[in-house]
Amino acid sequence: MPIPFIRPNPPRLSALGEGLKAIEASGIFSNFGPVNAAFEQDMLQAMFGGEGGCVTTCNATIALMLAIQEAIGDRPEQTRYALMPSFTFAATAQAALWCGLTPLFCDIDPVTWAPSAADEERLLDSYGDRIAVIVPYATFGYDIDLERYAGLTERYGVPVVVDAAASLGTRDAQGRGFGTGFMGSIVYSMHTTKAFSTSEGGLIYSGDEERIKTLRLMSNYGFGEPRVATMPGLNGKLSETAALICRERLRSFADTVAHRSHVMERYRMALPELVFQPAPSGQQSHQFGVALLPPGWSELRGRFLEVLAKQGIGHATYFSPHLAQHSFFQKHALFGALPVTDSVASRVICLPMNDTMTEAEIDTVIEGVKRAFGDCRPYTPASHAYLASAMAAD
Ligand SMILES: *Cc1c(COP(=O)(O)O)cnc(C)c1O
């Protein structure tokens, strides 16, 4: 049986009959209705210990646009850049462009693959107040240091919007959900392909409840007074039907995160040849089974993935190409050399990860990866066969 790369597992729609009937009876289908309000309260308690506030959105890309626009609201005119890693999803850069900003790409840390602190500070020092906002990505749900970002806001006066698209379920060693108490905006996705799998949906959290109030108005056309726009806005609301799916998803989510951690732990233990992110001190939410091939293996990745494909093992290569390698961002973003991003992106592989993965399926993936290593090893740079075939190709 082939093992798909992802196998989305949103709540069963056919089991939501009662909830749908209740929505129908209420006559309220959107505009922050009762199901959405209950879901926001549930999330605030379950993920953030009741601290701060949150607002849902129709997806995380719109949420990033709202949060970036809100963050840059009172920035001076000359600010133009959104500082972000190139090793992220296209949505991060697209959202900045919709806000009239130019993405400015920084390099990443070689160990965590999160934005490099040194490179962020180098760019903040050289671009000064032309940087309107910092948009770090909490890479693959990794628990990035948010206190450091609060420090950057203090030191440089630049606001921070965190792209935490894959981070619902990530907790620190004390069990606090990722983002809890952070005073900037943090954006999470509830898209089908994330661990918190629904259909479409996003969530913006902030420790600052006033900020969430503003974002809620911005998400409703910027209506600060009845049907009068008093600020920038768009329609970013989550429908009641979508909120029902989200609410249902939360009920079993703790088990989902635990199972995914188990899958990742088995990959980590059984495949020491691969390079993983550091093991979390608390709990990391895992969207995919992400790892790097060893240094020197980038040329062999295509062959390696072919061996996996032949065995029916689904896979992907997020985020390769990285953003600075997309033709659109080459025209509309600013960046210099990104050596760590180039190296990480050229070796990244994403293995299957899903909520219902069995031990036998995990074994199959592990065996498949071992076979791929075996099949490719004769071609590693150190070997004569590789040199011979490279010379023959010349
Ligand atoms: C999934 C994802 C998004 C976009 O989320 P949507 O809800 O699909 O709009 C943004 N950034 C990153 C890093 C993502 O992985």
The residue among 227, 77, 68, 194 whose CA lies nearest residue 136 is 68
Helices 301-310 and 359-376, axial angle in degrees (round to 10): 140
- For residue 392, the model assigns a pLDDT of 56
- For residue 98, the model assigns a pLDDT of 97
Q: Is 318 touching ligand 1 by the criterion CB < 6 Å?
A: no
Nearest CA, atom 14, ligand 1: 165
pLDDT mean for each 10 residues of the chain (394 residues) = 92 96 98 98 98 98 98 82 98 97 98 98 95 98 98 97 98 97 98 96 98 98 97 98 98 96 98 96 96 95 97 97 98 98 98 96 98 88 56 51
Is there a contact between 278 and 139 (Cβ–Cβ < 8 Å)? no
Q: Give the whole-angstrom CA distance, residue 52 versus residue 215.
A: 13
Mutate to test the pocket of ligand 1, among 185, 189, 238 (most ligand atoms within 8 A of CB): 189
Q: pTM for the whole thing?
A: 0.95
Q: Is 69 touching ligand 1 by the criterion CB < 6 Å?
A: no
- For residue 382, the model assigns a pLDDT of 63
Task: Give per-residue pLDDT as tens, 96-133.
Answer: 999 999 999 999 999 999 999 999 999 999 998 899 99
Ligand 1 centroid to Cα of residue 89, in Å, is 7
Identify the residue whose tokens are 């590789």: 386
Biggest alpha carbon distance in the chain? 75
Q: Is 88 touching ligand 1 by the criterion CB < 6 Å?
A: yes
CA torsion sign, 10 to 16 to 22 to 28? positive
- For residue 110, the model assigns a pLDDT of 98
Cis preceding linkage at 321, omega within 30:
yes
Q: Is 341 touching ligand 1 by the criterion CB < 6 Å?
A: no
Q: Is 136 touching ligand 1 by the criterion CB < 6 Å?
A: no
Q: Give the whole-angstrom CA distance, residue 267 versus residue 287.
A: 14
Ligand 1 centroid to Cα of residue 394, in Å, is 41
Ligand 1 centroid to Cα of residue 15, in Å, is 27
User: Could you identify the atom of ligand 1 that is nearest to the CA of residue 62?
Assistant: 9
SS3 114: coil
- For residue 394, the model assigns a pLDDT of 47
